């Protein structure tokens, strides 16, 4: 199968997340980056393209132009990666979808719920591949957790304990011109959600991904602890799942010492599990009446979902990029299947997962505004 021709919108040099997407795309040799609208600043776009080996002719100053032209080129891009601030996701995605180009979109899906709903509809109308990079679902031991829950090893799930805590926004760095912070704390670019959108959506997705449960309602107490900030930087959220399980979700970007502290713990009537993103090669299992176990990536006792998502032997740690690259590799499988008009199953987060994340944000804000009242997540 030929390599997938990839374009990128956003992600000019020094943009952390652009680099991550590119490394993830390169790792398995399934993509080649050949076009981009890498920055809204023309000079920066050109420089970034040159650095990345993108032909100057395929470096665009606007995503509109890029979508239009690449859609018509005989050897135009097959897929585009969208790594702009949130408020642009919807429009960029629509333009490329309309040009017949598959989309890999960073999260949260959009900056508001209505955009997300429209986009989800468009994706279905086009039938194109659309992946949302809830990348943490790409980690092998997260897949292992999913498989064990599905196999009933934990029994009926009762309790879900979620947290995603960081500390990089513990002070007002957005005022000091830190670009990553600036747009994430700006409602115009980020949308209604601060931390809940930037990282909370990851955790919310992860719990549904692993447990296969659907959350029915939530209740939220949001804060913007850092003076001058308007969007939430800490959120205390209660969750209820449709099977009767109960959850807690702590989201924070002001928790000193927490670097990228995404953690999930799940307890059923037969056993429990624990996984932490910062030590991703381990999965802690505790079955009632048995000694605790630690499963290691590619080690004894792991199943097929984990093993197809792993590249190297146990004890040789895989990290964030490898997990992210699984999203890219499996999206490549979907695109190849599309080309061959085949249907394959996939664990890739879809536009519906993205839409569900937007509803999570919307309802958390609504609950908080109403004084921490339960809000349905069904509609």
- Tell which positions 309-368 bind its own copies, by CB under 8 A: 311-322
Cβ closest to its own copies, residue 95 vs residue 322: 322
User: Does the protein bind its own copies through residue 211 (CB under 8 A)?
Assistant: no
Q: Does residue 108 have a cis peptide bond before it, meaning omega lies within 30 degrees of 0?
A: yes
User: Does the protein bind its own copies through residue 171 (CB under 8 A)?
Assistant: yes
Helix (H, G, I), strand (E, B) or coil at 375: strand
Residues 47/54, Cβ–Cβ less than 8 Å: no
List the one residue from 12, 272, 349, 357 that touches its own copies (CB under 8 A).
Answer: 272
Query: Minimum distance from CB of 232 to its own copies (Å)?
Result: 11
List the one residue from 260, 305, 347, 366 that touches its own copies (CB under 8 A).
Answer: 260
Cβ closest to its own copies, residue 94 vs residue 202: 202
Which residues, including other chains, have CB under 8 Å from residue 186's CB and lie 6 or more apart?
Answer: 174, 231
Q: Report the alpha-carbon distance of residue 151 to residue 174 in Å, rounded.
A: 45
Q: Report the alpha-carbon distance of residue 115 to residue 89 in Å, rounded.
A: 9
User: Does the protein bind its own copies through residue 152 (CB under 8 A)?
Assistant: no
- The 118-137 site mask, x for binding its own copies (CB under 8 A), equals --------------------
Cβ closest to its own copies, residue 189 vs residue 296: 296
Neighbouring C-beta atoms of residue 288, cutoff 10 Å: 12
Cβ closest to its own copies, residue 209 vs residue 250: 250
User: Does the protein bind its own copies through residue 195 (CB under 8 A)?
Assistant: no
User: Does the protein bind its own copies through residue 286 (CB under 8 A)?
Assistant: yes
State the number of binding residues for its own copies (CB under 8 A). Answer: 87
CA distances from 19 to 26, 283, 341 (A): 10, 28, 31
Positions 40 through 59 that interact with its own copies (CB under 8 A):
52-53
Q: Report the alpha-carbon distance of residue 247 to residue 238 in Å, rounded.
A: 6
- Phi/psi for 285 (5° steps) reads -120, 135
Query: Minimum distance from CB of 300 to its own copies (Å)?
Result: 5
User: Does the protein bind its own copies through residue 179 (CB under 8 A)?
Assistant: no
Among 50, 5, 63, which residue's Cα sits nearest to residue 30?
5
Cβ closest to its own copies, residue 91 vs residue 336: 336
Residues in the chain: 379
List the one residue from 47, 91, 221, 336 that touches its own copies (CB under 8 A).
Answer: 221
Positions 78 through 117 that interact with its own copies (CB under 8 A):
none
List the one residue from 42, 288, 308, 370 that touches its own copies (CB under 8 A).
Answer: 288
Query: Minimum distance from CB of 90 to its own copies (Å)?
Result: 26
List the one residue from 291, 341, 343, 379 that touches its own copies (CB under 8 A).
Answer: 291
Beta-strand relationship, 4-10 and 79-83: parallel
Cβ closest to its own copies, residue 187 vs residue 317: 317
CA distances from 91 to 34, 109, 250 (A): 21, 11, 31
Q: Which two structure tokens, joined as six digits, stand for 244? A: 């009767």
Beta bridge partners of 104: 81, 131
List the one residue from 117, 167, 186, 352 that touches its own copies (CB under 8 A).
Answer: 167
Cβ closest to its own copies, residue 115 vs residue 322: 322
Query: Minimum distance from CB of 320 to its own copies (Å)?
Result: 4
User: Does the protein bind its own copies through residue 295 (CB under 8 A)?
Assistant: yes
Query: Minimum distance from CB of 21 to its own copies (Å)?
Result: 11
Give the sheet arrangement for strand 79-83, strand by strand: 31-37, 4-10, 79-83, 102-105, 130-132
Q: How many CA atoms lie within 13 A of 310 on its CB side?
A: 25
List the one residue from 89, 107, 258, 329 that touches its own copies (CB under 8 A).
Answer: 258
Q: Which two structure tokens, joined as six digits, stand for 348? A: 């890739």
């Amino acid at each position: 199968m030929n390599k997938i021709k990839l374009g990128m919108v956003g992600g000019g040099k020094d943009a952390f997340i652009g680099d991550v997407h590119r490394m993830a795309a390169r790792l398995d040799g399934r993509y080649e980056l050949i076009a981009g609208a890498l920055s809204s600043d023309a000079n920066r776009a050109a420089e970034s393209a040159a650095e990345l080996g993108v032909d100057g002719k395929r470096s665009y100053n606007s995503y509109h132009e890029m979508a239009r032209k690449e859609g018509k080129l005989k050897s135009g891009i097959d897929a585009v990666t969208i790594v702009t601030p949130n408020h642009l996701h919807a429009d960029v995605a629509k333009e490329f979808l309309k040009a017949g180009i598959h989309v890999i979109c960073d999260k949260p899906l959009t900056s508001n719920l209505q955009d997300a709903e429209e986009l989800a509809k468009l994706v279905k109308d086009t039938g194109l591949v659309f992946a949302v990079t809830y990348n943490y679902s790409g980690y092998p031991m997260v897949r292992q957790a999913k498989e064990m829950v599905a196999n009933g090893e934990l029994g009926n799930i009762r309790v879900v304990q979620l947290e995603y805590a960081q500390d990089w926004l513990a002070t007002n760095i957005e005022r000091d011109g830190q670009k990553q912070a600036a747009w994430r704390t700006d409602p115009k670019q980020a949308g209604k959600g601060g931390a809940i959108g930037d990282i909370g959506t990851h955790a919310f997705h992860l719990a549904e991904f692993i447990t296969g449960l659907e959350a029915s309602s939530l209740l939220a107490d949001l804060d913007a602890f850092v003076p001058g900030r308007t969007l939430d930087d800490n959120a205390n959220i209660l969750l209820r799942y449709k099977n009767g399980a109960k959850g807690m979700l702590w989201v924070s970007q002001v928790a000193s010492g927490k670097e990228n502290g995404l953690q999930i713990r799940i307890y059923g009537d037969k056993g429990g599990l624990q996984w932490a993103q910062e030590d991703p090669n381990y999965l802690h299992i505790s079955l009632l009446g048995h000694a605790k176990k630690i499963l290691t990536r590619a080690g004894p006792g792991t199943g097929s979902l984990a093993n197809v998502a792993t590249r190297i032997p146990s004890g040789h740690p895989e990290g964030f990029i490898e997990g992210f690259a699984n999203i890219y590799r499996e999206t490549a499988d979907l695109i190849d299947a599309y080309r061959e008009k085949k249907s394959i199953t996939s664990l890739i987060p879809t536009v519906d997962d993205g839409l569900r994340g937007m509803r999570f944000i919307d309802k958390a804000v609504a609950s908080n505004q109403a004084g921490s009242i339960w809000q349905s997540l069904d509609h």
